[in-house]
Structure 1
Amino acid sequence: MEDSYSVSSPRRILSLSKKRRASVSFQDPDEKLSGFRLPEEHGPKTSEVYGFVGSITTIVATAIFLIWAYVPESWLHSVGIFYYPSRYWALAVPTYAMVTVVLALGFYIGLNFMFTPPPTSLNSLFDEFSREPATSKPSMEGDDQPIEPISDIGIDRINHLMFKDVK
């Protein structure tokens, strides 16, 4: 990447381009290792622009909504605004939105209850992804034990481990 004419020093790099123009760069040599260097392309990122435009749009829309909802009609007429939606919608739209969110949450919870098997069903213990433990016993050759393959622990073993002292 560097030219054959470049000279490195701890605090600055003097590089000569192919046209023999000198350019001095005061770049810290640790910047490449630390990852805190400026990107090659300067200017705002698209996500930053969209975020800024979105926040400004939200503020302007909120201000227009509050003016429309709370300023008396005579003030709007004196400014020259004669056409605007009915004030009914200032309460109706937020109310409909909140009711829609509450109903969607209730519907989602209801669907989860409908599709969850009962606790007595074997489908809550076994499914198509269940794996039986390996039946082969590893050989006892010193301390080097192979790692057992991933498998499910049986419910009888879990009950024995958790409730062995309870009678």
Structure 2
Amino acid sequence: MPNLYQSMSQEHSPSPTPERAIYGFVLYLSSFIGFGLYIVWAYVPDSWLHSVGLTYWPQKYWAVALPVYFCVAIILSYIVYIGIILLNTPPLTDIRTVTDCYALYDTPADTHPSCIPPLRDMHISNINKLLYLDNRHVS
């Protein structure tokens, strides 16, 4: 009798099962057949298609227009994605670019002089004091 963990791990396994292999193979074949039909429709003249009995096909304009539309849609999706990221980024004058609610600032009471201090965030005022208010550079 298999235990519950084994049955769950086999059920949700990413390994190729026979059903997935069949679906993948059918998708592989259908994509090649679809691409072949697209090439035939795009390059064979309409008179030849009509002589074979294939009379209802979209205009040849769409053989060029659809791939162009798809490419433009992909490019625009990248532009929109970058725009959304830029809209959600706070400005440089916002305090959220410096700290957040998860910051753990160290206090002098937290550290013992003989110990290695714990890993903590430094407050921006301490950094400014260290960088810009150093008395060695003042004349």
- Give the TM-score of the pair, scaled to structure 2: 0.67
Q: Percent identity?
A: 32
Q: Residue 101 of structure 1 aligns with which residue?
A: 74
Amino acid at match of 2:121: D
Q: 1:86 to 1:125 in 2, by over 3 A?
A: same
Q: 1:62 to 1:139 in 2, by over 3 A?
A: same
Give the C-alpha shift of residue 153 in structure 1: 3.5
Give the C-alpha shift of residue 62 in structure 1: 0.5
- Give the TM-score of the pair, scaled to structure 1: 0.57
Structure 1: 5+ residue runs without aligned partners? 1-42
CA distance in structure 2 between the partners assigned to 1:69 and 1:159 by the alignment: 70
Larger relative contact order, structure 1 or 2 (CA cutoff 8 Å, min sep 6): 2
- Please say which structure displays the higher CA radius of gyration: 1
Moved more, 46-55 or 74-83: 46-55
Q: Residue 63 of structure 1 aligns with which residue?
A: 36
CA distance in structure 2 between the partners assigned to 1:66 and 1:153 by the alignment: 63
Give the C-alpha shift of residue 124 in structure 1: 0.4
Structure 2: 5+ residue runs without aligned partners? 1-15
> 3-state DSSP class of the match of 1:105?
helix
What are the equivalent positions in structure 2 for 1:102-121 lying under 5 Å apart?
102-121=75-94
Instruction: Give the aligned CA root-mean-square deviation in angstroms.
Output: 3.1
Amino acid at match of 2:83: G
CA distance in structure 2 between the partners assigned to 1:51 and 1:133 by the alignment: 56
Higher helix share goes to which structure? 2
Query: Given the alignment, which residue of 113, 121, 126 partners 1:152?
Result: 121
How many aligned residue pairs are there?
Answer: 117
Give the C-alpha shift of residue 44 in structure 1: 4.6
Paired residues of 2:111 and 2:117 also in contact (CA < 8 A): no
Q: Residue 137 of structure 1 aligns with which residue?
A: 111
